[in-house]
Structure 1
Amino acid sequence: MLSASHDIDYSIVICTYNPDVRILQRCLQAVQQLDTSNLQTEVILVDNNSNTPVNNLPCVVACRQQLPAFTCLLVKEQGVRFARMAAIEQAAGKFIVYIDYDNEPEKDYLQQLKQLNTLYPGVAAWGPGNVQVDFIDGVNEAIAAYARVAFQERHEQEVLFSSEKQWQPCYPFGTGLCTYAFLLREYIRMARAGKFTLDGRTGEKLSSGEDTQMILLCISMGYAAGVSPDLHITHMIPASRANDAYLRRLAYGTSVCYATCLLQVFPEQEDRLLQQVMGPYRFLKNALKQFIKVQYSKEPHRLFELARFIGLNTGLYHALNKPVPLPVNKIARYLKLE
């Protein structure tokens, strides 16, 4: 591995756990086809302790033969956060680009990043403004529109960025995220010190807290974050995720972590969160009201809205160290949100 002199421009990090081989193969093929003209790059594939070692898969063996600067890491501690932290410590690039194993970047992805990083040095985190969701096994039309949004489809028309100290619509998600490596090493330092505690996705748990904290950390250190329409990625979604059960768990998992993410990066936001939190009776009343409507509704989006409502408010309670009303926890268990 090269030293911190940044002889490498971009370290591409791919984290995976028990991958669908069809999807991983498409991802690796897209990474091999990236235009790296006048760029020095490396690829770090992280196996987060899959049941079948990823290193031995034929598509990984083929990629290793095509890309000399290719490393496969085995990280046994379960959780995307731990996988990414290991990759950050290994990475030698000035920038780290997260290409999730279900991402298929366009050929010019790195070249577009290079232009953005040159034109906007004060933007520390970039993500794709154009994300196309590909339901590789199809999707039920009743949930298709919601699922596209849930899986981060977006089609921006212009470069957008901000430095507000709370989540903004223009902030990037983890899909295709490019960040200054030195800021991610600061994230590691703070995580190891116990300041950041969210593990991100772990097995069946669908939280995405580590992505959010990385982006908010960039904001806290005086940088901006944003998206560009010139960054294109295809997000590949199989049948195992294009269904009601997964989507309600995703709605809960991606919302329950937000208040903790925000408060751990910006402790001064506690007063604002205290003003937002519902009292236990109101929380329970609203949850029950929505739960009853779900039972009599044929519209699946109501179930996803209920999962998100419970997630956002449960997250506030967790962040502020308040006990969640027991009946709300029972509803969450009944709906299998965790």
Structure 2
Amino acid sequence: MGGQENVDYSIVICTYNPDENVLKRCLQAVRQLNVANISTEVILVDNNSKVRVQDLPYIKEYTAGIPGLKQLFVVKQGLLYARLAAIAEAKGAQIVFFDDDNEPESEYLQELHRLNKQFPNVAAWGPGNVEVDFVDGVDDNIREVALQLFQHRTATTVGFAAIKDWQPCYPYGTGLCIKTDLCREYLQQVNQGRLTLTGRNGNKLSSGEDTQMIMLCISKGYAAGISPALRLTHIITAKRANRPYMNRLLYGTRSCYETCMVQVFPERKQMLESKLISGAKFSRQTLKKFLKTKWNRSPQKTFDLIQFIAAHASDYMALDKPLPGFVNKVLTSLKIV
């Protein structure tokens, strides 16, 4: 496991079968980060791509000039395992997680450095301004939902909190920066089997590990927040800016929430048990909303249905209860499970 060696920030970029133009933009942005008076390392993690990232023709060119670059190859599939390997190798006091479709602005690290000095009790920071770049365009009928799902943000003030439930000022996984000692604690709890959410893995789409990392910070008495001066662009291609992908992303992101919370805060289970709706009621309300999607073909009706199912499925999953059969049938018809 890597030891800290007077490195301020370990920048972690995880990738799997990357889109060449997207990864180029990410690496170019990281190369252009202002690191004046800041020590850094960059860990590029290839999560078992079909063609090894280190063998891609453009990689040497785009990684040239990136200080302290290290490349890892992680065979076990899943974003979680790529991140865990990077955490184990990181030497920085803070770890910054950029996905391969993130394009941070040049002053990103300078703003993080300022925030870390000014607010030492905030253990997790993320961008308050995220611009979503639909490089291949996006259907106007799904644009608003797409912006939300791909973490569009336009904050105007610094905000942070230490509340044991999700807050509007909590950071997403995009551009997330966390104190390394807390990342190590997260790694330890995953290895012990206490935290089990894996994040994106094949067709399974969720952000559970991001939420668990942030909530772990809260559980240890720290706050988490965002700053408008932390700015980045989230690059989204047609492969993701479409209804089938977004349906799965919406369900995966929302349905894992209560499992995440209960694993970090076990006392929350009692509250969930008291508010759990019966299987019959869950099925009836699902049927009602499902029929509305047949009468009204608007994508928003389908998104509303998925949001409803995911919110209640989240409670069922956290309490290890099977979903009602009819609900599973609807999810299958939507090609979500």
TM-score (norm 2): 0.98
Q: Which amino acid aligns with 1:234?
A: T
Secondary structure class of the residue paired with 1:241: coil
Q: Counterpart of 1:37?
A: 36
Gaps of at least 5 residues in structure 1 are none
Paired residues of 1:15 and 1:80 also in contact (CA < 8 A): yes
**Pairs within 5 Å for 1:323-334:** 323-334=322-333
Q: Which runs of at least 4 in structure 1 moved beyond 2 Å after TM superposition?
A: 1-4
Alpha-carbon distance in structure 2 between the residues aligned to 1:59 and 1:267: 47
Alpha-carbon distance in structure 1 between the residues aligned to 2:129 and 2:57: 30
**Pairs within 5 Å for 1:85-234:** 85-234=84-233
CA offset digits 1:133-191 (Å, max 9, x no partner): 00000011111111111111010110011000111111100000000000000001001
227-236 vs 62-71, which moves further: 62-71
CA offset digits 1:200-241 (Å, max 9, x no partner): 100121011100000000000000001000000100000011
Does residue 246 (structure 1) correspond to residue 232 (structure 2)? The answer is no
Gaps of at least 5 residues in structure 2 are none
Alpha-carbon distance in structure 2 between the residues aligned to 1:82 and 1:177: 17
CA offset digits 1:98-118 (Å, max 9, x no partner): 011000000000000000000
293-302 vs 117-126, which moves further: 293-302
TM-score (norm 1): 0.97
Q: Counterpart of 1:20?
A: 19
Paired residues of 1:46 and 1:83 also in contact (CA < 8 A): yes
Paired residues of 1:28 and 1:59 also in contact (CA < 8 A): no
Q: Which amino acid aligns with 1:208?
A: S
Q: Which amino acid aligns with 2:122?
A: V
Cα deviation, residue 298, structure 1: 2.8
Q: Counterpart of 1:296?
A: 295
Alpha-carbon distance in structure 1 between the residues aligned to 2:73 and 2:115: 32
Paired residues in the alignment total: 337
Cα deviation, residue 68, structure 1: 4.0
Paired residues of 2:3 and 2:90 also in contact (CA < 8 A): no
Q: Counterpart of 1:337?
A: 336
Cα deviation, residue 2, structure 1: 6.9
Give percent identity, aligned residues only.
52
**Pairs within 5 Å for 1:248-287:** 248-287=247-286
Q: Which amino acid aligns with 1:224?
A: A
Q: Which amino acid aligns with 2:143?
A: A
Paired residues of 1:79 and 1:203 also in contact (CA < 8 A): yes
Cα deviation, residue 82, structure 1: 0.6
Paired residues of 2:98 and 2:176 also in contact (CA < 8 A): yes
Paired residues of 1:49 and 1:76 also in contact (CA < 8 A): yes
Alpha-carbon distance in structure 1 between the residues aligned to 2:182 and 2:58: 32
Paired residues of 1:307 and 1:337 also in contact (CA < 8 A): no
Q: Which amino acid aligns with 2:26?
A: C
